[in-house]
Amino acid sequence: MSSRFVSLDTSDVRFPTSAELDGSDAMNPDPDYSAAYVVLRTDDVDGHEGHGFAFTIGRGNEVQSAAIAALRPYLVGRQVKDVLDDLGGAWRELVHDSQLRWLGPEKGVMHMAISAVVNALWDLKAKRAGLPLWRLLASMSPEELVGLVDFRYLTDALTPDEALALLRQQAGGRDERIARLEKNGYPAYATSPGWLGYSDDKLRRLCREAVADGFTQIKLKVGADLDADMRRMRIAREACGPDIRIAIDANQRWDVGPAVDWITALAPFEPWWVEEPTSPDDVLGHAEISRRVAPIPVATGEHVQNRVVFKQLLQLGAVSFLQIDAARVAGVNENVAILLLAAKFGVPVCPHAGGVGLCELVQHLAMFDFVAVSGSMDDRVIEYVDHLHEHFVDPVRIRTGRYLAPQAPGFSSTMRPESRTRFAYPDGPVWQQHRTPPPHP
């Protein structure tokens, strides 16, 4: 008898990272890295579960969890095979639900909830196939990959036929690139040295450690105080030496004019890119900033809400690096669309991974991009943040500044059950000891 989905369970898991100011930046001074977590179970004898999550930074994680729970009726009771054999269809069903889409459309809490569930479905599919997700995607034909993508709103920039041609062009070299990935891994850059709340001494020490660990790029949070940014850039440049790339990240702090002034003031320190200079919705603003701070490249994407906004950023030449996030747009399918768009426009994808579990997820997408879509690692790096990996069953592995290719079946999304229990909010033992963080005055 064929198996069915029997449950979709959510949990609100929060880590008290604000205590150490890990993750602090100009717009997010006190994040508690959190996961609105979902587990899909079936009645199949293999016992495999699909795990996924939306990343938030604390308050509101209960709202995100409730949005995921609202998707339960779309899966529970359905035949597993029907759903997993047509994940393009499952994606369309969720994203285009005629009533749910009023909550977006295709943006915000509901879209992120769909991301968590779609990613959990991909985790389950990869576990059942006995492959890490990147290998599963890399084993799919160009036709199957194009079938995952919803081209509605994209065809003025990318048609299904163009996508097919791009994928076919790379199909011949896939085996050789898989071998290269498994041997050498994929380049990473280190964000951990540059959180805004760290002291100068800690910044200096962590910069030196990152270089000693083999990283060739780090990132500094900027945008709260220009004098402090200049001082911190100077410290980082001295600690890293002239050959290390130092990107800067303003986390949406500026209007267009102030962004240009601030970036111009930091230009003597040669930032590798400036990330999120302004609102993620302001496509024209990004284009204007790009034009006026050239040749300093502009990067964005972690808060870009869907493939349509990514399309516009590319059409306008507003970004030089595109930063996908595994859990903000609606999961693997939408990220395949964005990778295809980026390949069409020749813009390198450098994924965002600052959060809990985001490194684990997005490494699969970057590696798939290398094998099957862009075919290149040139100027491409995956963000690496050095904390909270111990909570995952299949944590990322970094060697000399590179991500090693994941080998375990699935999407590396499974959080250890004991971590989910200990950090459950608000009743887990860790939160019984921490005061519930107050909202801002």
275 versus 282: smaller Cβ distance to Mg ion? 275
Tell me the two tokens of residue 355. Answer: 């959060």
131 versus 222: smaller Cβ distance to Mg ion? 222
219 is catalytic: no
Of 13, 4, 85, the closest CA to residue 41 belongs to 4
Distances (CA, A) of 363 to 32, 108, 308, 378: 23, 23, 23, 16
Tell me the two tokens of residue 409. Answer: 């079946």
Closest residue to Mg ion, judged by C-beta, is 249
Q: Count CA atoms closer than 13 A to 330's CA, side-chain side.
A: 26
Tell me the two tokens of residue 248. Answer: 């800067």
Write out the residues near Mg ion by the rule CB under 5 A: 249, 275
Other C-beta atoms within 10 Å of 108: how many?
A: 15
Q: Out of 221, 364, 389, 391, pick the active-site residue.
A: 221
249 versus 334: smaller Cβ distance to Mg ion? 249
351 versus 410: smaller Cβ distance to Mg ion? 351
**Cα–Cα dist 137/119, whole Å:** 13
Q: Out of 352, 364, 389, 391, pick the active-site residue.
A: 352
- The least distance separating Mg ion from the CB of residue 89, rounded to whole angstroms, comes to 33
80 versus 324: smaller Cβ distance to Mg ion? 324
- The least distance separating Mg ion from the CB of residue 129, rounded to whole angstroms, comes to 33
Of 209, 219, 189, 215, the closest CA to residue 383 belongs to 189
- The least distance separating Mg ion from the CB of residue 194, rounded to whole angstroms, comes to 10
> 3: alpha, beta or left, given left = phi > 0 and alpha = psi -120 to 50?
beta
- The least distance separating Mg ion from the CB of residue 203, rounded to whole angstroms, comes to 17
229 versus 249: smaller Cβ distance to Mg ion? 249
Alpha helices, DSSP H, located in 185-319: 200-212, 226-240, 256-266, 283-293, 307-315
**Cα–Cα dist 227/161, whole Å:** 51
- The least distance separating Mg ion from the CB of residue 299, rounded to whole angstroms, comes to 8
- The least distance separating Mg ion from the CB of residue 276, rounded to whole angstroms, comes to 5
221 is catalytic: yes
SS3 content of the chain, % helix, strand, coil (to 5): 45, 15, 40
Q: Token pair 């964000």 is at which residue?
A: 191
Catalytically active residues are 221, 352
